[in-house]
Every structure is written in structure tokens, then in C-alpha cells.
Structure 1
Amino acid sequence: MLIGPPGSGKSTVGTLLAQRLGTSFRDTDADVEAVAGKPVSDIFVDDGEERFRELEAEAVRRALDEHAGVLSLGGGAILSEATQSLLAGHPVVYLQVGLADAVQRVGLASARPLLVLNPRSRLKQLMDERRPIYERLASLIVATDGRTPEDITDEIVKGLTA
């Protein structure tokens, strides 16, 4: 299970990690989009954040029931107490990223719905608010700043097999 803020590398590293472990990769944001029939940004605009969070919590629950491979959770999925409970007992890797790297990776002109107004400030706020939850849920914390996805994947594989 990979958790972390936008720009931490969950999708990129998750894909590499799944390949390395010889398993499949699944992203709960993609699951939400498939169920809703539209991109996450459109769900926020059309249906609101509350509806998105409901779909997200259900996507995480379903993925944990159905998927035995590497799972990437959306950055805010950990806000749900039900999701936090479901993660107990699973290996959870928190991909830790600093603001500068996150901004560079996400881009300030992205279509991420929670970063529309003053994206750099909002991203910092989200990261600060969520950091304690990420840290509490993690069985392994991996810093990603200035590192290649391959290097990060190597550290995760070592950490999971130690």
C-alpha cells in the first residue's frame, strides 16, 4: 500500500514496485474514475468533495478486498477513519516528499481539484495537515526528494523484506 501527498510518486513508484515484486498495480483514483465515468477533477466540480470522498472510501475498501498486489491510495484517502482502520495490518509505505519536489512533480497548472486556488500554498497546507496521519499509518517511511523512482523502489523492496 502506497500513501502520500500529490507528487510523492505513488503511481510511478507503485508501477515499478509491482513489476519488481512480480504482481499487479492498482490505483484507487483510477477506480473512482471508472465507477464515476469521469475524471476526479470533474467529480469534485459536478458532485463535490464529499461525494468524491465517499467514492474513494468505497474504492479503497473494494481494492483491499479484491487486490493482492501493490495499491496506491489517493492523497486524501487516509482522511477517512474507516480507511485508516482498513489499513491496519497491511504493509503501508508513506512516500514522503518535500514541498519543492511535490510542486515540481505536480506542476502548478495541474487539474488537481484541491489545488485550484493558490496551488503552492494549498499543497503545503494539505501536506502539513495530512503528514501526522501518513506517519501514523506507515509501517515504512521513504523520503523521495531528489531520488529516482528506481532508487525509491529499491528502498521499499529492502524495507518490506527486512
Structure 2
Amino acid sequence: MAVPRAVLIGPPGSGKSSVGTRLARLWDVSWRDTDDDVEASEGKAISDIFVDDGEPRFRELEAAAVATALKEHEGVLSLGGGAVLDPRTEALLASYVADGGEVVFLDVSLAKAAPRVGLNAARPLLAGNPRQRWQELMNARRPVYERIATRIVDTDGHTPAAVAALIAEGRATA
């Protein structure tokens, strides 16, 4: 059975995509993002799925995408920021870790995340007051990220290439 070399988790703006692509290059493996998988399977953007079908439907699609990717993908896997909140996904990640897998929590402050993601309308969970919503999401998700992670990397003040190098070299905390 194929398993990812590493799974990246964290909030919007933590660098899951930019770090993931660089880490995959360092390890000479492929990179996969479960948000991209959901968009490809539905033929529309995540923001449109939220509007057209609702968040519960998106979360179902997301959980299925994570389960599939954990079985099929052998490279670096990036998960959507809220994917870890699904109990099924958390259980799959716990099993992956128990089998020797690595889950890296890319931590970031709001001050650094805001310019990275723009905190714009394309992110449906950040509608209204994006900075406040991001902080609320992070406060709710941080305990789960920390519980699931085998390693934590603070991305503040580091380029995506530097973060990828830290992960590749095994220099991260947990």
C-alpha cells in the first residue's frame, strides 16, 4: 500500500502548498493537495461548493479526498486547513502516524498569514471579518493540529524553501 512521505497540516497561510511543492522537489517525489482533488472531482472551486452545496457537503468531499490520498499518494500531501476536524480524517491520520507516517503542523501567526492569503472572499470561512474569523478558526483548530502532528514547524520569518529544508533535514519540533 502506498503512503505519503509526509502530510502537511495547518491553517490558511501557513504554507502547505508552497512548502509542500518545495519539499516534494527536495525529496524528488510528487506533491498533492486534497483541496485540488475536491475541486477536480466536482469541477468547481471550493468557494462555489460552499455556496452551491454547503459546508457539510464540502466536508464530506474533503474527507473522501483525504482518505483516497492517504491510500494512493506516495509523495508530500497537503490537507485543507479544516480537514483534520473530521473524526474520520483524524482517525486515518492517527493510523498513518502509528504506522510510522509523519504529520507536520505548519504553524503561523495571523500577522504572517494575512499577507500570504489576502484573507479575501475566495475563502468562505473567512467571510465577514477575515482577521477575526482566521483567529477564531485557529483557536479552535490549534489543539487538533498539535495533537495530530508528529512535528511542528513555525513558518513565521522563514521562506517556503527554508521551511521545506527544515522538514527535509528533520529539524523541527514536536
Do these two structures clear the TM 0.5 threshold for a shared fold by scoring above it? yes
- For structure 2, the 5+ residue unaligned runs are 1-6
- Which residue does the alignment assign to 2:110? 99
Distance in 1, Cα, partners of 2:140 & 2:132: 12
Structure 1 position 109, deviation (Å): 2.6
- Which residue does the alignment assign to 1:27? 33
Deviations 1:29-52 (A, max 9, x none): 000001111000000000000000
- Which residue does the alignment assign to 1:151? 162
Task: Provide runs of 4+ in structure 1 moved above 6 Å.
Answer: none
- For structure 1, the 5+ residue unaligned runs are none
What is the alpha-carbon root mean square deviation over aligned residues?
Answer: 1.2
Residue identity matched to 1:52? F
Residue identity matched to 1:105? R
- 1:111 equivalenced with 2:117 (yes/no): no
- Which residue does the alignment assign to 2:47? 41
Deviations 1:95-142 (A, max 9, x none): 000011111111133411101111010000001100000001000100
Structure 1 position 10, deviation (Å): 0.2
Residue identity matched to 1:25? W
Deviations 1:3-34 (A, max 9, x none): 00000000000000000001000000000001
- Which residue does the alignment assign to 2:75? 69
Structure 2 length-normalised TM: 0.90
Structure 1 length-normalised TM: 0.96
Distance in 2, Cα, partners of 1:154 & 1:70: 14
Residue identity matched to 1:155? L
- Which residue does the alignment assign to 1:127? 138
Distance in 2, Cα, partners of 1:158 & 1:109: 34
Distance in 2, Cα, partners of 1:148 & 1:91: 21
Q: Counterpart of 1:146 in 2: which secondary structure? A: coil
- 1:54 equivalenced with 2:65 (yes/no): no
Q: How many residues align?
A: 161
Structure 1 position 77, deviation (Å): 0.1
The one of 3, 9, 28 aligned to 1:3: 9
Residue identity matched to 1:86? L
Percent sequence identity over aligned pairs: 62
Structure 1 position 159, deviation (Å): 1.6
Q: Counterpart of 2:157 in 1: which secondary structure? A: coil
Distance in 2, Cα, partners of 1:156 & 1:149: 11
